[in-house]
Structure 1
Amino acid sequence: MITYEVYEQEIQKGNVKKGYVFCGLDEELIKDGINLIIKREVAEEVKELNLIKIDGMNTSFDDIMNACETMPFMGEKKVVIVYRASFLQDKSDSSGTKIYNNIKDYVLNLPPYTILIMYYLLSDKRDRPNKNKKLTTLGKTLPIVHCDKLKKDKYLKKVSDIFKEKGKQIGRVELSYFCEKVPNNFDIIKREADKLISYCDSREIKKEDINLLISNSNEDDIFDLVELIAIKKVDKAIDIMKEILYKSDQHMLIISAIQKHFLRLYEMKCKLIKGKKVEDFMVEYRLPQFVCEKLVTQTNRFTEKQLAELIRLCVKTETKLKSTGIEKSMEMEFLLINTLTVKK
């Protein structure tokens, strides 16, 4: 199994194999990796004929084999992409297992003119491809590319290239700040870049623009966590809590952020009762409309009494965290479990 960086270096050297299996959480990063091969091996004028894409969730082995066996048209190579190939997941149904077993044997003797690329998406951050026995077996024949987080320099360059491809320059300071604010997910990064470019139009991008349009990734995590509390899915809320702590092992800052979020929801709840609208919150909190709309929707999931009690729970937990000899992560989990006892 190789990293995205190693794979990229190999392609740049012209060392292209007969096939690849990609896996990861970030589908856009996987697609970017696949495009490196397409640009190198398939001429633009014959792309429609020599580039075949197959839905891996709705296919058969015969579909894949027939695509691979067909000769390329006016070119030396053709690329066959099987996207979202669910049959590569460690656990699959009988149909998926049958496809995998056939593919496992078939890739041993791929036609010399075909590059077969397959990929599947990991279910979450705890899904480890090196534990997948199917990949271990396929890895003896095809390179397995794990598209995990890029190293800082590579990450910054790739994000910078996204702005350049869209015809927009971004300063080094602003680029670093942008990367700190957005989640490490290229689908989200591209959408946030589009938003910034449209907003700034012909002028240069400033930090103030980034602050206005993009919330902190931690803020998004806190929003998701509170949403799970609202629908009583505490087990999933605990998973998100662990991910937040993994990224930033600062319990006091996180409990403070949760408390602050509940306080804002409480304020908005009181003001909504008095007749305030989304437009009023946009002015008061200096937030974009879509952010205020999300907050109002979440506010409506709680009663005023619930929000007051949730704030009290946060204060109580914060006090405990300041004590010595406390298992902080456990206290944070207790907080989430105790939210189940909060009545409307």
Structure 2
Amino acid sequence: MIDITAFNRNLKNGHIENCYLFCGSDEFLIKENIRKLIKRVVKSDFIDLNYAKFDGSSLEDFDTVINACETLPFMSDKKVVLIYRASFMGEEKGCKSKLSGEFKKIHDYLKNIPEHCVLIFYYLFKSKRDKPGRRIYSLDKDICVVRADKIKGYQLENKVQEFFQLRGKNIKKIDLRVFCNLMEGNNLSAIENEVEKLCCYTYGRDIKRKDIQEMFLKNSEEDIFDVVNAISNKNLKDALHLLNELIYSGAKINYILVMIERQFSILFKIKLLLENGKQKTEIMKLLNIRSQYRYNIMVQQSKKFTLKQLKKSIQLCLNTEKDMKSFSLNEKTELELLLINTIA
């Protein structure tokens, strides 16, 4: 099994297999790389004659696919046959495809694909938590299985930069990195939608850091605010539920941790300033809190902790961050333990 990076390297070097199975949760990424493969294999002048595709979710007879594969290409060395959304490549349980029961027959055929044909399947995971099953691993011995995991780091930045360039938008490198850090974990289709929103929001001008913060940080801060609110109410069940919602929506673990620590720090400062006799207006100005409603809620939150408890919570956040950077730990588990310890 190879990843998208290895697939692109092989494609660039002209190393093309006769059969591929792309699998993953990011359909945009899968489709994009299949398009690259088809473009490399079949000339655009003869694409209509040498390219056949089938909907794997409604395909009733694999013989139709075999016939397409066996038919010789026209005025070309190769032809491509694509079966998209090949649900029968998943595990037997819950699979509604009529071809699920013919998996052995399909597997046997894949071992002897004609030289003139490039047969491509793609199997879409139901959620980002899914992994390749037994069937996919059994195919990996005989065909090229490409795991289309979400791209990140410089690869993600370069791809997102393309999205902005296609829309004629300029964004500084450092601001691009901030945007990508907030988006990491989402699929490319969702990220492109967010790029479109940001471009519409900044119509007629270049994108600034402030635009990204106003559009994307505000919602994330509200979610973190809710997590800390559940902690202040000693409601562990709600706190863990909200944490999981944040993670599954694509928020990065490190970002969540930093924002929780920041929220506890604000509560500590509010409580300290109140105990030192500072007034509401002065505190809001010192801590740059613009909303009176938010200030009032945070005051109520701060009253549910002692200064000692808030200091302990901040230290727990810092210790968790240090441990995650120093050791190979399950980051989600560490965050859950943090919430448990702050409530205890």
After TM superposition, the score normalised by the length of structure 1 is 0.66
Q: Counterparts of 1:163-202 in structure 2 under 5 Å?
A: 163-184=164-185, 185-202=187-204
How has the CA–CA distance of structure 1 residues 313 and 58 changed in structure 2, closer, same or farther, with 3 Å as cutoff?
A: farther
SS in 1 for 2:199: helix
Distance 1:256 1:173, change over 3 A: closer
1:104-162 Cα distance to aligned partner (Å, 9 max, x none): 11111112222111112223343232xx2111111111111111232412221122223
Cα distance change of structure 1 residues 97 and 188 upon mapping to structure 2, 3 Å threshold: same
Q: CA deviation at 1:91?
A: 3.4
Question: For residues 157 and 246 of structure 1, do their structure 2 counterparts lie closer, same or farther at Cα, with a shift above 3 Å needed?
Answer: closer
Mapped partners of 1:199, 1:216: distance in 2:
15
Correspondence for 1:206: 208
1:15 maps to what in 2?
A: 15
Listed as ranges, the matches of 1:129-278 within 5 Å are: 129=132, 132-184=133-185, 185-215=187-217, 218=220, 239-240=244-245, 247-248=253-254, 253-254=259-260
Contact 2:182 2:251 in 1 (8 A): no
Tell me what 1:342 maps to.
none
State the match for 2:87 in structure 1.
86
Structure 2 unaligned spans of 5+:
229-236, 267-289, 292-296, 321-333
Match of 1:37 in 2: 37
Amino acid at match of 1:21: L
Gaps of at least 5 residues in structure 1 are 227-231, 261-283, 286-306, 337-344
Distance change (3 Å), C-alpha of 1:192 and 1:253: closer
On the 8 A contact 1:57/1:85 being kept in 2, the answer is yes
Structure-2 residue corresponding to 1:340: none
Q: Secondary structure at the match of 2:127?
A: coil
CA distance in 2, matches of 1:238, 1:165: 35
In the alignment, which residue of structure 2 is the partner of 1:49? 49
Conserved? CA contact 1:86–1:120, under 8 Å: yes
**Match for residue 71 of structure 2?**
70
Cα separation, 2, equivalents of 1:64 and 1:140? 21
Q: Name the CA shift for 1:328/1:237 in 2 (closer, same or farther; >3 Å).
A: closer
Kindly provide the amino acid, as one letter, of the partner of residue 107 in structure 1. Answer: L
> In the alignment, what sits opposite 2:281?
none
| CA displacement at 1:180 relative to structure 2 | 1.8
- Asked if structure 2 preserves the Cα contact closer than 8 Å seen for 1:314 and 1:335, the reply is no
Say whether residues 1:126 and 2:129 are aligned partners: yes
> Offset at 1:215?
4.3
- Describe the shift of the 1:30–1:318 C-alpha distance in structure 2 as closer, same or farther (beyond 3 A): farther
Kept after mapping to 2: 8 A contact 1:225/1:240: no
- The answer to whether the Cα contact below 8 Å between 1:182 and 1:216 also exists between their aligned partners in 2 is no
Match of 2:27 in 1: 27
- Kindly provide the amino acid, as one letter, of the partner of residue 212 in structure 1: E
Instruction: Calculate the TM-score normalised by the size of structure 2.
Output: 0.66
Larger radius of gyration between Structure 1 and Structure 2: 2
1:242–1:206: structure 2 CA closer, same or farther, 3 Å change rule? closer
Cα distance, 1:222 vs. partner?
Answer: 6.0
CA distance in 2 between partners of 1:164 and 1:88 (Å)? 37
Q: CA RMSD in A?
A: 4.3
Change (3 A) 1:178 1:245: closer
Instruction: Note the alpha carbon deviations across 1:231-274, whole angstroms, 9 max, x for none.
Output: x999965644666897228657348769x9xxxxxxxxxxxxxx
CA distance in 2 between counterparts of 1:224 and 1:76 reads 60
Q: Quote the sequence identity (%).
A: 32
- For residue 126 of structure 2, what is the amino acid of its counterpart? S
Matched, 1:113 2:116: yes
In structure 1, C-alpha distance between the alignment counterparts of 2:173 and 2:5, rounded to whole Å:
22
> For 1:63 and 1:235, how far apart are their aligned partners in 2?
49
Partner SS state of residue 48, structure 1? coil
- The question of whether the paired residues in 2 share the 8 Å contact of 1:22 and 1:120 is answered with yes
Change (3 A) 1:29 1:198: same
Quick check: 2:23–2:146 contact (8 Å CA) kept in 1? yes
The answer (yes or no) to whether the contact 1:181–1:216 under 8 Å persists in 2 is no
Worse overlay, 32-41 or 236-245:
236-245
